Amino acid sequence: MIVLDDLDKKALEHFRGYVVKKDLVGIIKGGANVPAFVLEYLLANTCSTEDEEKLREGMENVKTVLRNHYINPEESTLIQSKLREKGRYKIIDKISVELDSKRDCYWASISNSNIRHANISDELVKNHEKLLLGGIWAIIEMEYDPMIIVGSAVYPFVVRSIKPIQLSSFDNSKITAKRKEFTKSEWKTLLLRSAGYEPYSEGLDERKINLLLCRLLPLVEANFNMVELGPRSSGKSYIYKEITPYAILISGGQGTVAQLFVNNNTGRVGAVGLWDAICFDESTDKLFKDRDAIPLMKDYMESGSFSRAKGGEITGSASVILNGNINQPVETVLQTSHLFSPLSNEVNHDTAFLDRFNLYLPGWEITKFSPDNFTNHFGFSTDFFSEILKSQRKTTHYDAIDRYFSLGSHLKQRDSRSVRRIVSGFIKLLHPDNDYTKDDLQEYLVIALEMRRRVKEQLKRIGGMEFWDTNFSYIDKETQEEIFVGLQEQKGTSLIESNPLQPGVCYTATSDGDNHALVKIEVVALKGSGKLNITGTSSKDVKENVKNTHNYIRANEKSILNEQHTLSSYDINVQVSNLMGKYVSGGIGSAVYIAIISAIYKKNLKPALAVVGNISIGGAIERASSFADKITLLSENGAKTVLVPMDNLSEVGTLPTLVLGKTDVPFYNNSQILLQKSMLGE
């Protein structure tokens, strides 16, 4: 018995003939080696109904059509013989056309039937231009005429008529007009069902639904570069293999220069000029067969073009996707390395290559798919759905965010470009009628900032100062509020590193009484002329804390630093990162102090260390406000030791027993003791 929900009924009402019940594809495909989009075309024409009897009849009709007309490659000799015997025969196959300029005629190639140089009229080619752009699947009426002779050769096969299975023409106005009949949630669900997913199944929530939508971005945005690492069987490659004829899946290590870019012998442009998306599967093993493919890929990913000595500059619009498995918990990877490390050794430390990715999709958040995660509801047929996606590549919403928001200072040109393109892609997917709100834009902007920041954070781990600016934010133009966007993987219980802290790194917490924040201080001391650079915060109080601490060290450097380390010979770069919480407030001077000193001396701090409290410009240790809240926040996120001002001694009794059981709380009353208790080995 068919059970339809309200969205099924609405999809049938507005898109009858273009939607198909997705589970029927699996039922029929199980017994026939037929491309999914061929099946869905046939099903959409005969099974786009809620009537159970008509549905059964339609399925039987599809099976009959496939049995009588679909050509498997191993049947090519048989079908050619049947054509010769019968004179005419209808087949389901892929047909493409090339122009023979020497003879001033077109030749058709019929793929599975293994027919080359079939005669085809100019009129048929004119009516179906996609024949010249890689070909289309179609119901083809073939004829055998041994009297057709060109030169001294016989060319007996003739294409008499074509009924395309892939749409031979597509009018996006239907989507634009009908989108208003659906709520945003309904449209999002319809898109995901069209891709085969069931958004309401167990294990999928709103965040995971948005992550699945990200997989569609390379299909609506030209020259969009994405990487996704996650567990096996989570559908990373499914989108590019099953739901569109405009994408190609390349197995690891098989990418050659000729296949991807251009064949120098023939001058023929490779995959980047022929497909909308190129997905490298299993990219954790090996990517390219030719070493010189990497510099070409860098050029192409950056600009959508590349140069070869013989052919000059060649352009393409294909998006590039790297998929691969990540076999360790992401927390383990982050403790020892970076999130690009599972990729092939060819590229996993090449910052110039990695920086060209617009989006890093955290595939580890998408659990392995079970049968229940695949939909049995109606969705767009694959041919119609793929045309919807392809049609959007011609438009852009690059400047959409500018009406309401501006981007924070840490976003460089590549970051800004990536964020804008991700937002543009979400608008194309969810608002093809261009009707969206400020709240919609804000939702997509937050997703975009996170996805690009993940790229930048890993680059910082690999490349250091060059990629220092990772504290991504956006400013609401109406309220002038600056909102910082963090990463999900930085919000776990092991957020504070359990290993000895690197020189210049320290953790602290801030509070204004209502809002608490977990903060990471990172300091890099470079040979220079005594400059102080503060990034990651727009708070005047926080900046004042940092400046006061720096001035205190400068005024007392003879007692704090030795003769070989004078503050005037270093440029101090301080980054304040909000790891958790709404915003950072003041009171971070003590953490900044030991971060600066450890950076100058290149000495590690104790494992899982945090510091609360502030140092005045005169060196006085100031009591930490909201004491219990700060210590609890730090303890819950991995701090094993929290250094605390002596003035907070009387408040120790307010700490929860659980916190005292797993976190030491030593006290300090001056900057010298603070250093002694924080440095490793002291």
* One domain, residues 593 and 665: yes
In a domain, 191, yes or no: no
- Say if CB 412 and CB 418 are below 8 A apart: no
Average pLDDT (202-215) is 93
| High-pLDDT (> 70) share of the chain, % | 95
Residue 653 lies in a domain: yes
* Residues 462 and 496 placed together within one structural domain of the fold: no
> Lowest mean pLDDT: which of 22-36, 67-81, 316-330?
22-36
| 248 and 304 inside one domain | yes
CATH number of the CATH domain containing 225: 3.40.50.300
Query: Over the stretch 270-280, which tens digit does the pLDDT of each residue have?
Result: 888 888 999 99
Residue 558, SS3 per DSSP? helix
- Give the confidence band of 41 by pLDDT, cuts at 50, 70, 90: confident
Report the number of distinct structural domains present in the chain. 4
* Domain co-membership, 158 together with 256: no
Q: Is 61 within a domain? A: no
Residues 534 and 626 in one domain: yes
For the chain, what is the mean pLDDT?
88
The predicted pLDDT at position 248 comes to 83
Higher pLDDT among residues 47 and 199, named by residue: 199
In a domain, 45, yes or no: no
Q: Specify the residue for token string 């767009």.
A: 380
Pair 319, 401 in one domain: no
Reported as a single tens digit per residue, the pLDDT across 430-481 is 999 999 999 999 999 999 999 999 999 899 878 766 787 787 889 999 998 8
For residues 16 and 479, what is the distance between their CA atoms, to the nearest angstrom?
46
How high is the pLDDT of residue 355? 96
Domain boundary, last residue among 456, 482, 508: 482
Query: What would the mean pLDDT of 3-10 be, rounded to a whole number?
Result: 90
How large a percentage of the chain has pLDDT more than 90? 52
Q: Decide which of 492 and 68 is more confident.
A: 68
Quick: pLDDT tens for 297-324. Answer: 999 999 988 876 565 788 889 999 999 9
Compute the distance between CA of residue 583 and CA of residue 511 in angstroms, rounded to an integer.
9
Which tokens is 63 given?
Answer: 């099976």
The pLDDT tens digits for 328-378 are: 888 778 766 789 999 999 899 999 999 999 999 999 998 788 888 889 899
How many distinct helices (H) and strands (E) make up the chain? 25, 28
Are 458 and 511 contained in the same domain? no
- In the structure, what pLDDT confidence band is assigned to residue 60 with cuts at 50, 70 and 90? confident
Same domain as 324, residue 280 = yes
Residue 39 reports pLDDT greater than 60? yes
- Kindly state the average pLDDT of the residues 569-591: 91
User: Secondary structure of 203-230 in the HEC alphabet?
Assistant: CCCHHHHHHHHHCCHHHHCCCCEEEEEE
3-state secondary structure (DSSP) of residue 48:
coil
pLDDT of residue 166: 65
The enclosing domain of 672 has a CATH number of 3.30.230.10
Is residue 187 situated within a structural domain? no
Residues 586 and 653 in one domain: yes
Digit-coded pLDDT (tens) for 412-435: 999 999 999 999 999 999 999 999
Q: In this predicted structure, what is the pLDDT of residue 279? A: 92
CATH label of the domain that carries residue 83: 2.40.50
Torsion of CA 137, 141, 144, 147, to 10 degrees: -100
Element (H, E) at 362: strand 359-362
Model confidence at 33, pLDDT cuts 50, 70, 90, reads low
CA distance 19 to 178: 14
Give the best-scoring range by mean pLDDT among 283-292, 443-452, 490-499, 567-576.
Answer: 443-452
Considering the domain architecture, whether residues 407 and 554 belong to the same structural domain is answered as: no
pLDDT tens-digit profile of 126-171?
A: 888 778 766 788 899 999 999 999 888 999 999 999 988 766 567 7
Taking the C-alpha atoms of residue 219 and residue 239, their distance in angstroms, rounded to an integer, is 10
**How far apart, in whole angstroms, are the C-alpha atoms of residue 95 and residue 162?**
9
Q: Is 292 exposed, middle or buried (0-12, 13-18, 19+ CB in 10 A)?
A: exposed
Do 144 and 113 lie in one domain? The reply is yes
The 10s digit of each residue's pLDDT in 503-526 is 999 999 999 887 888 999 999 999
Which two structure tokens, joined as six digits, stand for 407? 């981007």
Point out which residues pair with 96 in neighbouring strands.
109
- The answer to the question of residue 53 being in a domain is no
- 117 domain residue, yes or no: yes
Beta strand extents in 17-56 (DSSP E only): 19-21
Q: Which residues of 577-606 are buried (b: 16+ CB within 10 A; e: fewer)?
A: bbbbbebbbbbbbbbbbbbbbbbbbebbbb
| Rounded CA separation 170/152 (Å) | 41
CA distance 391 to 420: 19
Q: How confident is the model at residue 73 (pLDDT cuts 50, 70, 90)?
A: confident
Flag whether 290 is in a domain.
yes
Q: Which residue range forms the structural domain that includes residue 432?
A: 396-482
Confidence class for position 253, pLDDT limits 50, 70, 90: low
- Give residue 493's pLDDT: 45
Higher pLDDT residue, 660 or 449? 449
491 has pLDDT over 60:
no
Looking at the fold, whether 567 and 641 belong to one and the same domain comes out as yes
pLDDT at residue number 258: 81
Contacts for 285 with CB less than 8 Å, ≥ 6 apart: 252, 253, 324, 344
CA dist 645 and 613 (Å) reads 6
